[in-house]
């Protein structure tokens, strides 16, 4: 069964004054796919994600969701940032039910929805805790549970593990695999880590050096959940790393020429 295209970018370009950040980026992301974006630092990965979120307006090309042009943020997309964007005066439950509250969903129904993701995110017992009392990993679990409780069609993750220590990150990667399987959502994630990308994603989109375009689309043909000990997974990691390393080298050479 062929899944419908959920997100489609065609020849997307982004220019900031005299800087052309993205040029002719084209991809199609299907319903319920988990797709990771990786590329050299500063190549426009997060910018591309924000154009899909509707936070940035593209300067060329088109982006559609379910065939309709993206003109701004919408309830069909939930965003999780690298930093823990939580309201410190609201409890875990109150932070997670913020979306349904904005949608005027009755409190009892909002809390019922939230309780499922609280349990699956390993937050049971912390419903009445405030963000200041939580670890970094728990704060990010709250942010992800909030996005899932809001029940958008698409989850956009901007380096969701970037602020976490290695041990916490490994737990979160495992948990995100389970949450994605349970949620049955389309997920697009920006990451700097090849390991994160191949562990989690169905496909890895590699962005080239600036002005960026998508230079590789690597399908990770392995079932979930995945383990770092899988030799086939290591082959995929090596493949993506080779492509990425060549672009990082190119980017560094360009920067040296600019400085010189």
Identity of the highest mean pLDDT range in 165-179, 192-206, 241-255: 192-206
Q: Give pLDDT, residue 102.
A: 87
Q: What is the pLDDT of residues 53-91, one digit of tens each?
A: 999 999 999 999 999 999 999 989 999 887 778 999 999
User: Is the pLDDT reported for residue 229 higher than 60?
Assistant: yes
Residues 39 and 15 in one domain: yes
Instruction: State the pTM of this model.
Output: 0.89
Domain of 176 in residue numbering reads as: 5-76+154-259
Residues 69 and 147 in one domain: no
Taking residues 30-49, what's their average pLDDT?
A: 92
Taking residues 44-54, what's their average pLDDT?
A: 94
Number of domains in the chain: 2
More confident residue, 16 or 162: 16
- Out of 151, 172, 199, a domain closes at 151
Q: Report residue 2's pLDDT band, with 50, 70 and 90 as the boundaries.
A: low
Q: Give pLDDT, residue 256.
A: 57
User: Is the pLDDT reported for residue 252 higher than 70?
Assistant: no
User: Is the pLDDT reported for residue 181 higher than 90?
Assistant: no
Question: ∠ CA 33-74-95 to the nearest 5 degrees?
Answer: 90
Q: Give pLDDT, residue 160.
A: 85
Q: Give pLDDT, residue 201.
A: 95
User: Is the pLDDT reported for residue 35 higher than 60?
Assistant: yes
Residues 67 and 126 in one domain: no
- Out of 121, 151, 181, a domain closes at 151
Backbone angles phi, psi at 92, to 5 degrees: -55, -50
Residues 128 and 35 in one domain: no
Separation between Cα atoms, residue 168 and residue 161, nearest integer Å: 9
Separation between Cα atoms, residue 205 and residue 83, nearest integer Å: 23
Parallel, antiparallel or unpaired: strands 68-69 and 77-80: unpaired
| CATH number, position 68 | 3.40.50.300
What value does the mean pLDDT of the chain take? 89
Q: What is the pLDDT of residues 110-127, one digit of tens each?
A: 999 999 899 888 899 999
Q: Give pLDDT, residue 129.
A: 96
Q: Give pLDDT, residue 121.
A: 85
Q: Which helix (H) or strand (E) holds 195?
A: helix 194-200
**Using only C-alpha atoms, what is the Rg of the chain?**
19
For CA atoms 91, 92, 95, 98, the dihedral sign is negative
Q: What is the pLDDT of residues 136-174, one digit of tens each?
A: 889 988 998 998 898 899 999 998 887 677 777 777 887
Taking residues 227-255, what's their average pLDDT?
A: 83
Residues 240 and 200 in one domain: yes
Q: Give pLDDT, residue 231.
A: 93
Residues 26 and 123 in one domain: no
Q: Give pLDDT, residue 82.
A: 78
Say what percent of the chain tops pLDDT 70: 94
Q: Give pLDDT, residue 251.
A: 64
- Out of 151, 186, 212, a domain closes at 151
């Amino acid at each position: 069964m062929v899944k419908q295209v959920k997100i489609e970018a065609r020849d997307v370009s982004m220019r900031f004054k005299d800087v052309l950040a993205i040029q002719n980026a084209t991809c199609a992301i299907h319903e319920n796919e988990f797709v990771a974006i990786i590329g050299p630092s500063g190549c426009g990965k997060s910018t591309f994600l924000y154009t899909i979120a509707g936070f940035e307006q593209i300067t060329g090309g088109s982006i559609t969701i379910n065939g309709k042009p993206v003109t701004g943020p919408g309830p069909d997309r939930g965003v999780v940032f690298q930093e823990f964007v939580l309201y410190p005066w609201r409890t875990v439950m109150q932070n997670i039910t913020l979306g349904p509250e904005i949608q005027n969903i009755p409190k009892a129904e909002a809390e019922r929805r939230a309780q499922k993701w609280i349990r699956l995110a390993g937050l049971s017992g912390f419903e009445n805790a405030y963000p200041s009392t939580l670890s970094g990993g728990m704060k990010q679990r709250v942010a992800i549970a909030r996005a899932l409780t809001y029940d958008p069609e698409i989850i956009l993750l901007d380096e969701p593990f970037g602020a976490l220590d290695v041990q916490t990150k490994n737990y979160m990667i495992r948990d995100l695999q389970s949450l994605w399987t349970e949620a049955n959502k389309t997920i697009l994630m920006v990451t700097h880590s090849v390991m994160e990308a191949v562990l989690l994603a169905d496909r890895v989109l590699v962005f080239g050096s600036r002005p960026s375009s998508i230079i590789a689309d690597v399908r990770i043909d392995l079932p979930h959940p995945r383990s770092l000990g899988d030799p086939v997974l290591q082959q995929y990691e090596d493949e993506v790393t080779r492509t990425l390393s060549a672009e990082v080298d190119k980017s560094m050479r360009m920067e040296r020429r600019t400085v010189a």
